[in-house]
A and B are shown apart, each in its own frame.
Chain A
Amino acid sequence: MNPKFRLGALLLAVSTLLAPTARAADDVVTVGACQPITGRFAFAGVAINAGLQDYLTYANEKGLVPGKKFNYVYEDSGYDTERAVACFKKIMAQHSPVIMYGESTGLGKAIAPELTSRYKVLYASASFSSELADPKTHPYSFISGPTYSDMFSVLLEYIARNKGAARPRVAFFYSDTEFGKDPIAYARKRAAELGIDVVGEIVTKVGAVDVTSEVLQLKKTQPDFVIFQGYVLAPITEVVRAAKDFGLKTRFMGTFWSMDTTMIDKLGQDADGYMGVNPYAYYYEEGAPGIAAMRAFNQKAHPEVKYRPNSYIQGWFTGMVYVEAVKRVVAAGKPITGENLAATLDGIKDWDTGGLSGKVTFTNHKAGIGRVYKANAQKGIFEPASDWIYVK
């Protein structure tokens, strides 16, 4: 046998192994997901997957869409775009879902042409990239919450509302990645509109640990606020600590991924004063029926779980949007297709999420909403510092 034939034979063997399974029945709504359960995004992927899966189970238990059951199929895509695209195609071929979930901005971009021309399924992902929130280029995709630009807008608005006599001085501190640079151009514009001076921009690699020169730069420019983007923990913790050592009065702020309580665990007492934006409420918050229902579900289904991170709530919230879209399509008496599901997004206005988020309105396939939270080092939690702020 020669190499070409061997390749073909191997592929055929694989194809028989992975032959498509039976099609789902009419009363079943299949949701597929390529989740970054391994790889460098696993810290969030595992929780997102659990959140999405749990919400769909919850919806089935409660019968949220009468006559329909949600079937959740997921695979690990390892936070690797090629593997994720393969996973996407495999799930589409085997289960023909009408809704898909994807692991990253990279997958969203790579699958976009075929999502629009062939697959036509409702698609959301772990990404908050503003690039994907464009119904013209990504008609089937939505962001399950605000984009990074919206998050910056929320923070800047908070700064503008709480300013003193002088014009607030802000610095942006971001990583040299797509994730880091995504909202910066918009943020500069928005700051100017709100009368905020951007006094510095610091760009670093992800996870850079020696931050002395960056902190010295902050000392020189003396911003009132520094907003981090494009990091999870490192080097935010190092910068916050070093700034304290240098005696800076600067307040530090983060966006979604830097707002989990692990940040407070890492910072310890230095966490006091750290702030940021979160589009969702925290797992421990009281007075939100949506969060209480989530906790009740977890107590029953996973009694060993005491806390759920923000990414779990992100997965849960995405599940809520999926179910809401299906509910609206069913109510309108239309068939459940990607087109119909995507069309309902624009109709979601002032949608009550039971306090899990504010009143959600989808514009341009994203919900521009967020709340500023402030760390309480004593209690080890984030506490609301503002009401829900809506981005126009």
Chain B
Amino acid sequence: MGEKILMKGAEAVGEAAIRAGCRFFFGYPITPQNEAPAYMARRMPEVGGTFLQAESEVAAINMLYGCSAAGKRVITTSSSPGISLMSEGISYSAGSELPMVIVNVVRGGPGLGDIAPSQGDYFQAVKGGGHGDYHLIVLAPSTVQENVDLMKIAFDLADKYRNPVMVLSDGLLGQMMEAIELPDYIDPNSFPHKDWAADGMQGKRKKNLINSFDLLPEGLEKMNKKMWQKYIQAEREEVRFEEIEVGDADYIFVAYGTVARIIKTVIKSMREKGHKVGLLRPITLWPFPTKKLQELANKPNVKLLLDIEMSFGQMIEDVKLAVGCLKPVYFYGRQGGMVPEPIEVEEQMTKLIKEAK
């Protein structure tokens, strides 16, 4: 630790992955994350790793599938339309219980959309994207430093649960430069060998099968239930969030990623004006900090919650599920790649506070 440098978000993701012991990158160009594969193309040969530009996102995710099946730490970075193309492979990877890290630098959508920051892929990341009964573990950084810090956690969680992990970033976090502190290198040879990997029997064991398939419903239900148990464990053990000034707050913002960062500015300004506002920032979007939200909503002094997103409102469904009828939940959002200004967010909350009084 201690090495402090100025780095672009997308490149920091790449460096952090290498330092987390990842030596394999497969991807396909798409804006606004092209700095990440370009960085990996330069860096991977320096550390004896593999960088390969695939012919499509469809191929890229399946290269991850094969690489992970061989027992390696592997990553891809992409952006919204690319993630749509990868969704088939993500479903297969979840079904075959293959650990991998997928970074989505979210841009405006739907369709071709634009290349500006957005949070329109929350549903895709958290509620599925691909077909079938599965979850991704979804991490949402809100600073370049957090891009770095969450990378090791993402790989560790992927390995712990044998499940794909998605880092849900956005165009702003990918493009912005910040001073960051990089962690030490982890030696990829220091990880325990994955005894389930299809890396050749080498005379040491019987056949390993990487598979999401069973024609018999009884058999598939068994596989599904095994995954379900992992998800229950993840919901119990892996929830992460940040609380900003929620201790005495009467009015609570809920936001993640870039928006949460903006709200930190809003809180400072509103606190100076005497408003007791705070922020709950989910870091894991799945598993979602449901209990924490319930706990906050149950506090007698808390009057309302205001969910802010760069979408029509996607995370708010999970906020409402958690809060139920305990307290009113309001929404404000910008779409199409527009990033809310602190002043407009402050206006929304100020209006709600006036109405509540």
Our verdict on whether A and B bind, yes or no, reads no
Instruction: List A residues at the B interface (Cβ < 8 Å).
Output: none
